[in-house]
Amino acid sequence: MTEKYRLVVLASGNGTNLQAILDACDNGTLPAEVVAVISDRKNAYALQRAMDRGIPALYRPWGVYQKAGKLRTTYDLDLAVLVNLYEPDLIILAGWMRLLTMSFLEHFPEMVLNLHPALPGTFPGTDAIARAFDAFQRGEIPHTGVMVHFVPDEGVDEGPVIATEIVPIYPDDTLEMLESRVHETEHRVFVEAIGKVLEDE
């Protein structure tokens, strides 16, 4: 049996993109396995998805460091040490809602992948889908999209692009309809992008 690539997933929320990755690992779409899931939020359902599969599910809150007066770089360095224990081939940011500093990133060059629910150079940061929806309503953009990119540094939602796909916005869309269409696209494009990077390994 061919050895599978090892993925560590960082997730802050519900974990639907994590689920898409887990399913792709199960059905052989990805020649990989998720070896750990780490969250900065105790109630992130992504942790439950990991526990349901018997995958190590680790909660690492920033607040503890903050209360102790420790620097963000200390948190990120400790996070890097933790991630490294699982010997990952790739680190997947699947809805990880915290910027990573170089204290983390310098340990994993060309190994960290992020998904952003907008096209390159558009709507960096949070609430990208809602901001795109509002921009469409104002006639400023014809569509939105998703992208997967490497995270080489502390730039917000920028870095070498691995994959993009346009997501249409229709005049009679509600925000919820657009969110659903974007998330559906995310799940497929993220898996394809991870597969592409693994092929190039």
Over the stretch 47-94, which tens digit does the pLDDT of each residue have? 999 999 999 999 999 999 999 999 999 999 999 999 999 999 999 999
Q: Is 30 helix (H, G, I), strand (E, B) or coil?
A: coil
Query: Per the residue annotation, which of 116, 143, 149, 183 is the catalytic one?
Result: 116
What pLDDT is recorded for position 1?
A: 44
Which H/E stretch holds residue 162? strand 161-168
Over the stretch 140-196, which tens digit does the pLDDT of each residue have? 999 999 999 999 999 999 999 999 999 999 999 999 999 999 999 999 999 999 999
Cite the beta strand spans of 20-60 per DSSP E.
32-39, 57-59
187 catalytic, yes or no? Answer: no
pTM of the model: 0.95
Encoded tokens for 14: 């519900």
CB count in 10 Å sphere of residue 50: 24
List phi, psi (to 5°) of 122: -120, 140
Nearest CA to 87 among 201, 7, 10? 7
Question: Which domains occur in the chain, in start order?
Answer: 5-200 (3.40.50.170)
